[in-house]
Amino acid sequence: MPHGVQHGLSTRLKAIVDLSVAQYTARNLPMLQRELDQQSARNRARSYRPTEGLDPEFEGLPIDPDPVPGAPFLFTLSGMANDADAAVPALPPLSDEAKAALRQEVGLADDYANLVGREVCTLLLAHRLRIQQAVRDLVEPQVEALLEELSRSLDAPFDPGSPSSTG
């Protein structure tokens, strides 16, 4: 399966788990929720946020292209975002007791995320054959068409009649 299809599916599944965990946290984990709210307020104070508001299939992907040796960037989107982050004050420090309590709540949120993730996977298992059929019917023909087009557009390096072998 092409990476784009896998990435789109996994980010959508992650969004389901994230929403469930956010609801669980808001109901049951007050200290963690307070920390998340403080971080959200800090994030909103940043003037530049290039990774926010993206469609799910683009979340988590690099925001800058890979560097080309010998061709430096004048600027990068991640560099501009880091500059904006530096201008926002840090969160207040926590006591050792508060850190321990927060770790415990984070552990509970992680356990809940694992529970929801397993439940989502169990539900998807019932649709496995339909998903496989959809990949065969919709994705594989697109991949085959791309490969066919690519094979037509490439020069054959050892074909005596090709332009690249006569040069």
- How sure is the predictor about 163, in pLDDT bands with cuts at 50, 70 and 90? low
pLDDT, tens digit (0-9, with 9 covering 90-100), for 83-131:
777 777 788 899 999 999 999 999 999 999 999 999 999 999 999 899 8
| C-alpha to C-alpha distance for 5 and 142, rounded to whole angstroms | 11
Q: Max alpha carbon distance in the chain (Å)?
A: 77
> For 46-95, what is each residue's pLDDT tens digit?
777 777 777 777 777 788 888 888 888 878 888 888 877 777 778 889 99
Per-residue confidence band for 162, with pLDDT thresholds at 50, 70 and 90? low
Check: CB of residue 32 under 8 Å from CB of residue 110.
Answer: no
Distance from C-alpha of 60 to C-alpha of 137, rounded to nearest angstrom: 28
pTM as predicted: 0.60
SS3 string, 95-150, reads: CHHHHHHHHHHHHHHHHHHHHHHHHHHHHHHCCHHHHHHHHHHHHHHHHHHHHHHH
